[in-house]
Amino acid sequence: MIVRNVLTRKVLCCLLFFLPAIVVASESESECGVAGLQTTAKGLGFEGSEISRYLTLVKRIDKCIAADNKKDRNYADTLKQLRNQLYYKAGLLQLSLGQELKAMSSFESMLRDQDYRNSYTSLATKRLNELYIEFGFWDKLTNDEDNMAEIFSSLNSTLFQKLEKGASSIDTLPDELRPMLDISPYDLTTLQVSIEFLTKKLSENLEPSFANELVRHYDLVLEKYKTSLTLDQRLKIHHANAILLMVVLNSDPSHQLRRCLAIDMDYSPCKILTLLNSKLEKINPHRAQILDPDVYAFPERERGGRQATEVHWENLAKFYLDLTSKPCIRKLPKDYKFANNYELIMDTMSKLLNQLFEDDQPLATRRMIEVNTKGKYATEFGKYIDLIVCESSIHTSHPITKKLKLSQYCKKCLKSVLDEEQWEDFNKALTKKERLPDNVLNGLWNNYPNMAIYMVDTILHKHKVKSGGISPVQDEILQFFTDNHLNESENKFIKKQRDYINKLVEKKQQQEQEQFQNHHQQFFNFGQQQYQQHQHHQQQQQQYAEPPPKTDKDYYKILGVAKNSDSKNIRKAYLNLTKKYHPDKQGQLSQKEQEQNHEKMSEINEAYEILGDESKKKEYDDGRLGNGNAHFRQQQGAPFGRRGGQMKFKQGGGFPFGNGNFKMNFGH
């Protein structure tokens, strides 16, 4: 009995000792079972949010392979195939999210096992070669059928030779940079050189296209190299982009500033610029209210369910130019002499640009291209502030407007938004009343609408409506208002021009009416004179003329009058028909239609020649009644017959219905 108890205790002790190992082995077998792993893999979705689950399952498979004590080759190969499949899918998802470097890591992980290859490793190798070329990782490239490495190396060698030569070769750098970025758009060194080149060009000329390209380059670096950049580099890039957007492009920099402060809330450059931008956003009108012609002209219209916010122009004028206003930047340098916020903001913008141009680039340990700054820069943001100050001088009658001479900012701003040739054209319009070249006024309206109206205001005040015709430039302004429906605008500055525009309309109408009446009178005076001469000529010819044959034409029907109509009604019908069949009333006619119209006019003239003359009318009426002894003379002469000449209208013009291009040819 005692022996049995001892044995039982020993068995229990053994079981307790080996049980954990048995449990662990059992759990390991359940976690590493092929069927279970394959089922888990099939349950993974193909969305970016699933990437971490793919990589977690890959680690689990690696552990299973390492823990395989039996060293079962088929088991290991099945797991490796599943692992490569997961790595490849994870890499594709990373590529879809623009995470090329992470995708590169996933694909490279598949190739570390030199003893196992399958279709996924072949696909990964192809993807990797494409990525190596895009990023310029030439030392990793395994297949270069198109000799891209050799081409890139040759361009790169020429590029750095030019950099060593210095300023004399800088302007030709795009000859190498463009093809190099076409081959390897994410090569960091090439992007760095391109950024320095664009920075230099921008320092020489604040061309928005340079700034846009710089922002695009910096964003590309942040997107592709986020994990490999230092915090300081990322902060500097966001700050540089914020300056470019706000100062050079006059765009909202808030997104870049938020990303900067998300990295480090105490980063002083982004913090100061954020406070200044917030202050200006609160007091300035929305950019669309100044720069969008539709919003500027029709502020009362709802857009997206909202109307444009009301602007307090008087407060704006005081904020920018009143000497008693507080500085909009809190901590100013001790040696800075504050005049007003306008000067402070302009100085700050130039200072920010100079820092951007002079400081070391975020990606470079040393500068490869030297930059010479101008000190003061005329920026798009500065133009925008001038536009606001100019507009405030129009919308407020406060004494501060005259005291501070705000209108000078309008002239300054107009000159800054026009090139030299356009400025000269504007002065010719002022001094010589010449038309502005095509698209100058409309081009200004589309980009700086209040400057277009300021230009109109200046010209109209210079050339007020007086007696005589309107000038070419006044006619152009009238057409500009009509084309853009500005007579319907509720904008105060545009409404101010409306009285002048209405006077121009009245003057033009009066001018056209007088011209019409003069030509109309000349037409009938000339026609009457020619008709009288012709009647005298006909009377002389009738003494010797042989009686013509009777005609079958119904002249009453041709003129559309009754047979008992008097001479007054006959003449009235004749004039109405000549107006009706005048070429200017017919529009554009073909050659055949012109000939038909001409024949119709000849019939009308012939009918009036007979019915308009009492003696001929009597002969004609007697002839139609069948009196064999009665006849009339069918004359075909000018101005209303056919012989010798014709009443001729020139297609496309003519008076009294056209532009005075009316011609009467009379025979003899």
pLDDT tens per residue, range 531-542 = 666 666 666 665
% the chain with pLDDT above 90: 41
pLDDT of residue 461: 82
Alpha carbon distance 582, 173 (integer Å): 68
pLDDT of residue 245: 96
Alpha carbon distance 611, 626 (integer Å): 18
- CATH number for the domain harbouring residue 625: 1.10.287.110
Cis? peptide before 548, omega within 30° of 0: no
Q: Which of 476, 486, 535 is nearest to 508 (CA)?
A: 476
pLDDT of residue 22: 38
pLDDT band at 530 (very low <50, low <70, confident <90, very high): low
Question: Which DSSP symbol is given to 467?
Answer: S
Determine the average pLDDT of the residues in 112-126. 90
Q: How many domains in the chain?
A: 5
In a domain, 401, yes or no: no
**Given its phi and psi angles, is residue 43 left (phi above 0), alpha (psi -120 to 50 degrees) or beta?**
alpha
Q: Do 78 and 42 share a structural domain?
A: yes
Q: Do 314 and 215 share a structural domain?
A: yes
Contacts of 283 (CB under 8 A, 6+ apart): 315, 316, 319
Q: Do 592 and 470 share a structural domain?
A: no
Q: Do 353 and 217 share a structural domain?
A: yes
Question: Highest mean pLDDT: which of 51-55, 309-313, 491-495, 522-526?
Answer: 51-55
pLDDT of residue 646: 41
Determine the average pLDDT of the residues in 49-61. 94
Q: Which of 323, 309, 363 is nearest to 193 (CA)?
A: 363
Question: Highest mean pLDDT: which of 119-128, 294-303, 319-328, 332-341?
Answer: 119-128
Alpha carbon distance 309, 336 (integer Å): 35
| Boundary (domain end) residue, out of 490, 513, 544 | 544
Contacts of 134 (CB under 8 A, 6+ apart): 100, 184, 185, 186
Alpha carbon distance 604, 597 (integer Å): 11
Q: Do 260 and 365 share a structural domain?
A: yes
Q: Name the more confident of 622 and 146.
A: 146
In a domain, 507, yes or no: yes
Determine the average pLDDT of the residues in 484-511. 78
Q: Do 201 and 327 share a structural domain?
A: yes
Domain that holds residue 616: 551-665
pLDDT of residue 135: 96
Cis? peptide before 185, omega within 30° of 0: no
| Boundary (domain end) residue, out of 504, 526, 544 | 544
- DSSP assignment string, 408-426: HHHHHHHHHHS-HHHHHHH
Identify the weakest region by mean pLDDT among 166-175, 227-236, 429-438, 635-644. 635-644
Identify the weakest region by mean pLDDT among 196-210, 217-231, 512-526. 512-526
pLDDT at 598 over 70: yes
pLDDT at 366 over 60: yes
pLDDT of residue 399: 63
- DSSP assignment string, 556-608: HHHHT--TT--HHHHHHHHHHHHHHT-HHHH-S--HHHHHHHHHHHHHHHHHH
pLDDT band at 529 (very low <50, low <70, confident <90, very high): low
Q: Give the Cβ contact number of residue 19 at 10 Å.
A: 10
Are 561 and 604 in contact by the 8 Å Cβ rule? The answer is no
Q: Do 568 and 587 share a structural domain?
A: yes
Q: Do 350 and 242 share a structural domain?
A: yes
Residue in the structure block whose two tokens are 């290859």: 117
Residue in the structure block whose two tokens are 């496309």: 652
| Boundary (domain end) residue, out of 544, 563, 587 | 544
pLDDT at 184 over 70: yes
pTM of the model: 0.68
Residue 435 Cα distances to 324, 439, 478, 481, angstroms: 44, 11, 12, 15
Q: Is 663 helix (H, G, I), strand (E, B) or coil?
A: strand
- DSSP assignment string, 443-455: HHHHH-HHHHHHH
In a domain, 152, yes or no: no
Determine the average pLDDT of the residues in 151-167. 93
In a domain, 487, yes or no: yes
Determine the average pLDDT of the residues in 209-228. 94
pLDDT at 426 over 90: yes
Q: Which amino acid appears at position 559 of this protein?
A: L
Determine the average pLDDT of the residues in 439-443. 91
pLDDT of residue 629: 42
Instruction: Determine whether 514 is exposed, middle or buried from the number of CB atoms within 10 Å of its CB (0-12, 13-18, 19+).
Output: exposed
In a domain, 490, yes or no: yes
In a domain, 511, yes or no: yes
pLDDT band at 21 (very low <50, low <70, confident <90, very high): very low
Q: Name the more confident of 579 and 480.
A: 480
Q: Do 136 and 78 share a structural domain?
A: yes
Q: Do 577 and 537 share a structural domain?
A: no
Q: Which of 31, 24, 78, 28 is nearest to 56 (CA)?
A: 31
Q: Which amino acid appears at position 354 of this protein?
A: N
pLDDT of residue 635: 43
In a domain, 157, yes or no: no
pLDDT of residue 534: 64
Q: Which of 102, 38, 28 is nearest to 69 (CA)?
A: 28
pLDDT of residue 557: 86
What is the separation of C-alpha 576 from the centre of its chain, rounded to a whole number of angstroms? Answer: 52
Q: Do 277 and 252 share a structural domain?
A: yes
In a domain, 414, yes or no: no
Determine the average pLDDT of the residues in 36-61. 93
Contacts of 192 (CB under 8 A, 6+ apart): 361, 363, 364, 368
Determine the average pLDDT of the residues in 643-657. 40
Q: Do 320 and 276 share a structural domain?
A: yes
Alpha carbon distance 657, 15 (integer Å): 121
What is the separation of C-alpha 57 from the centre of its chain, rounded to a whole number of angstroms? Answer: 50
